[in-house]
Structure 1
Amino acid sequence: MKIYKAYYMSKIGMIEVSGNEEGILSVSFIDIEGVAETARENIHSSLINCIEQLDMYFKGNLKEFNIKLNIKGTEFQKKVWSELLKIPFGKTVSYLDIAKAIGNEKAVRAVGGANNKNKIAIIIPCHRVIGKNGELVGYGGGLDKKEWLLKHEGAL
């Protein structure tokens, strides 16, 4: 199945969205200079809703995404990501909280690993997971972006 890509310039950097007819496969911050935003009329129909919702989110007009996802990962990763989707806008939880929620409080490191493998940033809100001491730790897009996202959502 063909994979389509579109780009969105957010307030904190360029975002690449990829997906197919089955849903969104990835939402990633990219550091490639010279990548221009995809003109709205050139975005494949399977990505339009995602780009529009990201735009509303960054403008402060959207707190909950309603996007068809095509999640790829292990059963453990999917269980963790399912818990991440339950974290409300403007709230944070610890890696330990997620481990407990999936029924294995000893899996804190594995939860961190699953967060690291999350390919659908922002929509599957791994940025809302922080250290149990309240510190911002681990974010594939960089801690500066994690901090911005949490401030944007009123969690910091």
Structure 2
Amino acid sequence: MLSLQRKKEFYQALLEKNTEFDGVFFVGVKTTSIFCRPTCPARKPKFENCEFYLTAQQTLLASFRPCRRCRPLSHPNYVPEIVRTLVEAVEKNPEKRWKEKDFKELSVDPSTARRQFKRRFGMTFVEYARARRMGIAMKEIRSGKPVIEAQLSSGYESSSGFRDAFSRIMGNAPSLTGERNILKVSWFDTRLGPMIIIAGEDGLYLLEFVDRKGLEREVERLRHKTKSAVIPGKTKHTLSIERELDLYFKGHLTDFRTTIKTMGTPFQEEVWKKLREIPHGQTRTYTEMASAIGKPLSIRAVANANGANQIAIVIPCHRVIRACGETGGYGGGSARKKWLINHEKQEVNDVESTKTCENSI
């Protein structure tokens, strides 16, 4: 999360249209739901109406759409035709899940699209389209407004368009949720990026980074397993995990107490239980985890169980690394995994240093 001083620095660069900041940050304008590059020629918004982001993906996930004047998703001096075509196609139908045939209809090679977007924006086209789609549906979650307000503020004059966008992510038309079990979903900002929280009255069901690959399918599986509708809102378990996450990222918490609800296979449940037994600030290898559950040959199965974990950080799958010392895979991305490991180790080291100092007095 950016400091107030950093935000003011970015705002000054925006007012000055400072070209040195092009590519350094993007600004989302809350009153228009549009995001721009620092050099956008449009009239400048007030500081309190600005949100600043370091990547285009963060901006899209926060529900902003690209400005048509400064085209923040294109190189300042050159707009490749393939990029222009695909961005315009997404804006025409941002809820769409792209498939091979969709590229063929536009006479676009999927691998070329992937390279072009990755080179310029640090994300593939599919990641861009998913971020845009998620951003639309997440807008209501983030604001906490009633469904009808979110529908209108998202640009949908009719309810059908918003229902489609919402159901693409949450799997249910909001108007139908009253007849089923209810889980509530909310958005929580962390220093590693926004996370999505899904909780019921009986516990926390899902905690993931919003840009995790396959998140929509995770939510869909959760809905089917619990036979629930997912609607915006918070429960006491949501508030509990928000408090604990805040303390965790500040380095003041090592043990999560929020009630969690998991629905894995017996093997997955066994692995997740062992994950929670790994001490804060320590790591284990996949081989060690397999031995810990009494199945030393199930290394790959342990890795798959790690990947199936839907409650990030609380069930600390980030503490499992490869035998060679490399971090290995992580649903939230390898950079986040490294940060979490280092954050916890540093916290333990700080505590030990304090104890040493106290004992020496």
Does residue 7 of the first structure (1) align with residue 187 of the second (2)? yes
CA distance in 1, matches of 2:279, 2:259: 18
- By relative contact order (CA 8 Å, sep 6+), the higher-ranking structure is 1
The answer for the alignment partner of 1:75 in structure 2 is 266
- What are the within-5 Å matches in structure 2 for residues 1-156 of structure 1? 1-31=181-211, 43-154=234-345
1:43 is displaced (CA, Å) by 3.3
Aligned residues: 146
Letter in 2 for 1:17: I
1:96-146 CA distances to partner (integer Å, 9 max, x unpaired)? 111001101000000000000000000000000000111110100000000
Report the 3-state secondary structure (helix = DSSP H, G, I; strand = E; otherwise coil) of the residue aligned with 1:17: strand
Report the 3-state secondary structure (helix = DSSP H, G, I; strand = E; otherwise coil) of the residue aligned with 2:326: coil
Letter in 1 for 2:323: K
Report the 3-state secondary structure (helix = DSSP H, G, I; strand = E; otherwise coil) of the residue aligned with 2:345: coil
8 A contact 2:211–2:332 mirrored in 1: no
Report the 3-state secondary structure (helix = DSSP H, G, I; strand = E; otherwise coil) of the residue aligned with 1:154: helix
Letter in 1 for 2:246: D
Report the 3-state secondary structure (helix = DSSP H, G, I; strand = E; otherwise coil) of the residue aligned with 1:13: coil
1:46 is displaced (CA, Å) by 3.0
1:17-47 CA distances to partner (integer Å, 9 max, x unpaired)? 1110121111100139xxxxxxxxx633231
CA distance in 2, matches of 1:46, 1:115: 23
8 A contact 2:199–2:234 mirrored in 1: no
1:82 is displaced (CA, Å) by 0.3
CA distance in 2, matches of 1:132, 1:30: 29
RMSD: 1.4
Instruction: State the TM-score, normalizing by the size of structure 1.
Output: 0.90
Q: Which has the higher strand share?
A: 1
CA distance in 2, matches of 1:118, 1:59: 24
Structure 1 residue ranges (4+ consecutive) displaced by more than 4 angstroms after TM superposition: none
Pick which of 118-127 and 3-12 moved more: 3-12
Letter in 2 for 1:110: A
Report the 3-state secondary structure (helix = DSSP H, G, I; strand = E; otherwise coil) of the residue aligned with 2:335: helix
1:47-86 CA distances to partner (integer Å, 9 max, x unpaired)? 1101110111011110111110111110000000000000
CA distance in 1, matches of 2:280, 2:187: 24
1:154 is displaced (CA, Å) by 1.3
CA distance in 1, matches of 2:237, 2:258: 10
Report the 3-state secondary structure (helix = DSSP H, G, I; strand = E; otherwise coil) of the residue aligned with 1:27: strand
Letter in 2 for 1:7: W
8 A contact 2:204–2:260 mirrored in 1: yes
CA distance in 1, matches of 2:272, 2:244: 20
CA distance in 2, matches of 1:46, 1:87: 23
